[in-house]
Structures are given as structure tokens and as C-alpha cells.
Structure 1
């Protein structure tokens, strides 16, 4: 064998050993005896939410273990019936539901707290939300009266609904999964993630192939079909536009998708 040929063989053997030594990603696991349903962005589509809850009830009837439903945020705005969505989610904790905050809930609260200009929220679907509560934002168009609009919103939206929105969590962890609305900042430990990233991050997260320590389940970035990737699962299928609401079902090391 030539000297060059021997070098090529040795290089090939080195590459083979390097690849063989690379650690394989272990499958993410849900604790034994538990099944988790994580539902993507609803955006005021109470009709789709009702259909999904019926679908989950039928699916869960075949499980002998504990079931938990996680809602990934963005319950309001853009769709026609945000009020009914919030009314449905109220008290869900007693039914084993976990409701996380989305950036649209955060925008409404920021507007109420004077931290965001009302037109910013109204232009991103807030007008439809107010309409579902019987209030037309057109009555305040062109007025420099943010206090008047704030008072009208607080009158139209029941205090229990506002309290529900303020109590929403930014994330939850179950087994080897981390659930949040938008995603996480790659390279930052999960316990040090900040709420602004959990609610708003996009490309820095969705384009990352890093192992985040846990598999992240999220919405926020609409896709035509759910994305099931080694480090993340995206279940936002743009319900208010596509008329399709998606849910990922996690049990042991298995992943399934439900759609209505």
C-alpha cells in the first residue's frame, strides 16, 4: 500500500471512530403513567377549541393514567370569540389544565398598565378581542384619550378575566419537556430564561439545533404542519387563518399529533 493510501485509511478510521464516539441524543420522556396534551395558539377560535377539547376527551378515554392539558398561550386577538375562549379556560386548574402566557396576553396587560400604546395592541388583533366583549375600538379612533379607552376596556372585560391573564405562568416543565409560548434563548440555562424571550423569541430559537437540556414545546411561529424536531416541537398552525388547531400528545417516549 502506498504511503498516501495508508494515510487515507488512517484518516477514514479516525473519522469512523469520531462519529461512533459522538453521544446520541436520548429520547425525551414523560413520567410513567402520565399523558400530556399541549395545544397551540387559539387566537379567539372558540369553535376550534371546543372541537379540540372534545377530541382530547375521546383520546384520553383510552388512557388509564393521568392526563394533563397544557395551553401554550395566545388565547385572545385576531379570532372572533376571545371572550368565550377565556371563559372556557377559567378554572381549568381544577381540571388539570396548565395555561401559559402568550405575547398577545402580555400586550393587552401592557396596554392596561400604560407600558404599551393602545394602537399597537389593537392593530395586532386587539380590536377583535374588544369586539367579542361588546366594545368597538372605533369609538376611540383618533382620540388622544388612552385613559378613556383603558376605563372602557376594564368595564367591558370582567375582572375575573383580567385576573386570569395576570396569573398566567411563563413556562412549565414536565419530565424531559419544557413548555412555553415562543421558545427559549439558546445557550441560556432553562432556569435563567427571561419572560420576554419565552413570549417573543423567534429565529434565534427556531433556527438553533442546540440541545436545550429538555425538548421545548412551543407555538408563536405559525407553520402549515406541526414541526417535530429533536430539540423542539412547534404546534402553532395558525388557527385563525388556516382554521386548523393542533395539539401534540406526549406519553412515555411517544409523540402524536391531534388536529381539528
Structure 2
């Protein structure tokens, strides 16, 4: 797999690319600390992947942390080998970016704390009453964070790429800015762009797979697959299987029973 830094000046995150398609890609939407939903979905994926020969990937589309109750445990899981002899990749989401910024410059006034950061710190056992106390400043916040956040979690966050490309597929967290070439996309847009789902991405000649913007149902078209179904408040986590020459297949966990559906492109 080839790796390069971002396109526009100031881009710093890695962008990964391969010249040949894997046998299957299982892209998983925004987990947001919902470890039980992730484990259930992985079990569905492992069973499905057992029928496929060749290299099979799990790609986490970003935002595995925040909002839910078990972000620390999700990161522990990310550091373990992928299940079922699959190969796992994880992308930078806006919540990973916010968390990493906080861990580098911890402050009781960080905006991240209002966007799921409190729940993440609680999952590490951080005493929020101490962190949020008015007499604590940045120095005290630094000391508290250093006591509770494992170094390998920080290293994992720092190494996340912002994009993965195959000859037919582009995987990012948030989508891409319409009308701008991939090499010119800013890191911030790739993990933070708020999509209205109007762009077709037809001009790319590839399918863009992303999460970030919640939909009641996944969107699957010839050039776009959007699979964030709001796991942390709907209780439904969604994945899509992409196999060359076959229609995408959707999987979900957390509903009344595991779901699988083959989706015709609209």
C-alpha cells in the first residue's frame, strides 16, 4: 500500500492507496463508543467473509469515539488484531481529530467536551468533577489526562490516515467537496465536510464511501455509499460489503435481529 501526505498545502495526514482491489471491503460507519454494536457487527462480517477468498478488509470510516459510553474500550479493541483473519484500517474522523487536539492541549474549556468528549473521558475513568473544577487550568488538566489516557491510544490517533483509495473506491469519513480533485481535497473537508447528499461524485469515476452525516437509511448509488445510521442514539450500526463486480451488500447490528440486504444502486 502506498502512502503519501495530503494534497493541499498544509495537509498533514496520510492518504493511502492501492493499485489492486482487495477481494472484499467491509466499511463500518460511525461507532461512537458503541462497543457492543461493533462486536455484533464484526461477528456478522466474519461469518460473511468466510465465504470469500483473497484479501478482505475491514475499514472503520472514523468517529469510533465520543458520545457513546465505551470509547476507551473501542480503542482497546482497535489495537487488537482484526477478527477472522481480516485486515483492519481505520480513518480519521472529526471526533478523533477533536480528541487528539484535546489530548495535545488539554483544557477544561475545550469545545470537544460538549461534543462527546465528556463521555469519552468518563470511559477512561477520568474524574470529570476534578477536570471541570474552576480552579483547574491547562497544567492540571494535562496531569489528569496523562494519568488516564494510554500512550498507545494517542499513538493510534496520531497515525490515522484521512483517505484510502482503491482503483474503484474512495473511503473517507465525511465525503468530499464536489468539483475538487482528490489530490486537492483538504484534510479538514475529508473528515469534517457536512454533506447534503446532492452531489453524485459521478465525475470521479469511483464510488465514494463515507459516514459522518446521519441518515435514517443508508444511501447507495453508483458513485456514493453513505452509512452513518447514528449508532449512539438509534442503536443501529451499519456496514457495507464491496466486492468487485457485485452490488453492495448492507449489514447492520442492533435492530431486533441482524440484517443483511443486497442493495440495488439507485
**Range into which the TM-score falls when normalised by the shorter chain:** 0.7 to 0.9
Q: Distance in 2 between matches of 1:212 and 1:107?
A: 31
Q: 1:102 aligns with which of 90, 93, 118?
A: 93
* Cα distance in 1, alignment partners of residues 152 and 139 from structure 2: 21
Structure 1 Cα separation of the partners of residues 41 and 32 of structure 2:
14
1:116–1:198 Cα change, 3 Å: farther
Shift of 1:117: 7.3
- Superposition map of 1:31-110 within 5 A: 34-92=23-81, 95-110=86-101
Q: Distance in 2 between matches of 1:52 and 1:40?
A: 11
SS in structure 2 of the partner of residue 206 of structure 1: coil
Q: Secondary structure at the match of 2:112?
A: helix
Higher relative helix content: 1
Moved more, 145-154 or 245-254: 145-154
1:133 to 112, 116, 124: 124
Give 1 or 2 for the bigger CA radius of gyration.
1
TM-score (normalizing by structure 1): 0.82
Distance 1:59 1:151 in 2: 45
Contact 2:168-2:207 at 8 Å conserved across structures: yes
Q: How many residues align?
A: 230
Q: Which moved more, 1:225-234 or 1:123-132?
A: 225-234
* Shift in alpha-carbon separation, 1:148–1:218, aligned structure 2, 3 A: same
What TM-score, normalized by structure 2, do the two folds share? Answer: 0.80
Q: Deviations over 1:24-80 (max 9, x none)?
A: xxxxxx966601100000000000111011111111111123211110000111101
Q: Does residue 196 in structure 1 map to residue 188 in structure 2?
A: yes
Map of 1:4 onto structure 2: none
Aligned CA distance change for structure 1 residues 198 and 31 (closer, same or farther; 3 Å): same
Partner of 2:111: 120
What RMSD over aligned residues (CA atoms) do the two structures have, in Å? 2.1
SS, match of residue 214 in structure 2: coil
1:136 CA drift (Å): 2.7
Q: CA deviation at 1:92?
A: 4.3
Q: Which runs of 5+ in 1 are unaligned?
A: 1-29
Match of residue 179 from structure 1? 171
